Amino acid sequence: MKQMMNHELLEVKNLKKYYPVTTGLLSQHIGDIKAVDGVSLSIREGEILGLVGESGCGKSTLGKTILRLEEPTSGEILYKGIDITRLDKKELRELRREIQIIFQDPDASLDPRMTVGDSICEPLVIHNTGDEKERTERVAELMEQVGLEAGQTSHYPHEFSGGQKQRIGIARALAVNPRLIIADEPVSALDVSVQAQILNLMMDIQEEFGLAYLFIAHDLSVIKHMAHRMAVMYLGKIVELANKKEIFDNPLHPYTEALLSAVPSLKPKGKDRILLRGDVPSPLNPPPGCHFHPRCHRVLPICRQKEPQLVEISPEHFIACHLHNTDNL
């Protein structure tokens, strides 16, 4: 896997995305759904950062906010050192050349009335890239890169299988030569038998073009296969962030421990299975103190009162947990 770890491509600082909740005729503001609540992380050139957490933890919202498909409530998103939260429409369009997204449901990004060739060509048209001949050549090249036949350009999406449609989604994302791809559960809607093919394609492409991915998945084996580093998200916050091997060998946050122990093939040796009780609470009314405390098998009295901060407890290993931050005890 190609990895160039020297500089940050993307830095997210204290990013928040709140959805206001209103009631009544006067739309009185009664609270906020804190979908992303103070996330800081970075992605380096050519790096795959895996983002895991149960459904409803804020992973998709974080991905969409980084792309400004959702407007951030506050915080900074630095892409190559430039704060993209301040870009105007024109500048944002330019940025979308560099950062692309691949969605879970390939149908959502494909217009059923457009041929596949036109769909893949669309980003080139939007970004005014090349003349007609160059675009036709580029579409054929992209089809080949993602394992489709160039002769299929005149076909419509319904003529393709789920895996092939995701290949088309990948070709569309690659069309304008991005540097960073936000992959939001790109294989979870696909049959298990084709998931590995798409993951391998994404890894080949990452290596060939030295791309960076923010790879969102709730399936830890997918992250284990793909990522260099991984971030674990719980109720709008990053609770653990480290090198993938370090987390899989030595998960420190009780939430990470529980997630790993739920997958028999990933359960660290010698550790018991930890049952994660209940569901993720609502981000409208998160539990006080550490948001995870009502479900935590290692809860301490302080966890009910004080929110733990994300701290670096060993080089490049960050964790937000009172168990591992003795300053707070």
Contacts to ligand ADP by CB under 6 A: 19, 33, 35, 53, 55-61, 283
Nearer to ligand ADP, 72 or 117 (CB): 72
> Is the Cβ–Cβ distance between 287 and 267 less than 8 Å?
no
Q: Which residue's CB is nearer to ligand ADP, number 53 or number 163?
A: 53
* Cβ count near 192 (within 10 Å): 7
| Distance in Å, CB of 5 to ligand ADP, minimum | 27
Q: Are 180 and 67 in contact (CB under 8 A)?
A: no
Helix, strand, coil % (nearest 5) of the chain? 35, 25, 40
Token digits for 302? 């302080």
- Of 143 and 217, nearer to ligand ADP (C-beta) is 217
Q: How far is the CB of 30 from ligand ADP (least distance, A)?
A: 13
Handedness of CA 208, 219, 108, 62 (dihedral sign): negative
Bridge-partner residues for 12, per DSSP? Answer: 41, 77
- Is the separation of the CB atoms in 78 and 42 below 8 Å? no
Min separation Cβ 22 and ligand ADP, Å = 11
How near is the Cβ of 61 to ligand ADP at its closest, in Å? 3
66 three-class SS: helix
User: Which lies closer to ligand ADP via its Cβ, residue 56 or residue 157?
Assistant: 56
Separation between Cα atoms, residue 132 and residue 81, nearest integer Å: 34
Minimum distance from CB of 33 to ligand ADP (Å)? 4
Phi, psi of 65, rounded to the nearest 5 degrees: -70, -35
Q: Parallel, antiparallel, or unpaired: how do β-strands 74-79 and 82-83 relate?
A: antiparallel
Cβ 17 to ligand ADP shortest distance, Å = 8
Shortest reach from residue 258's CB to ligand ADP, in Å: 16
Q: Where are the beta strands (DSSP E) in the chain?
A: 8-23, 28-44, 48-52, 74-79, 82-83, 99-102, 180-184, 212-216, 229-234, 237-243, 311-314, 317-319
Of the two residues 136 and 188, which places its CB atom closer to ligand ADP in the complex?
Answer: 188
Nearest distance from C-beta of residue 239 to ligand ADP, angstroms: 13
Least distance from ligand ADP to the Cβ atom of residue 264, Å = 23
| Nearer to ligand ADP among residue 53 and residue 251 (C-beta) | 53
Of 35 and 247, the one with the shorter C-beta distance to ligand ADP is: 35
How many residues are given for the chain?
A: 329
Closest CB to ligand ADP among residues 175, 235 = 235
Which of 120/235 has CB closer to ligand ADP?
235
Convert 108-161 into a string of H (helix), E (strand) and C (coil): HHCCCCCCHHHHHHHHHHHCCCCCHHHHHHHHHHHHHHCCCCHHHHHCCHHHCC
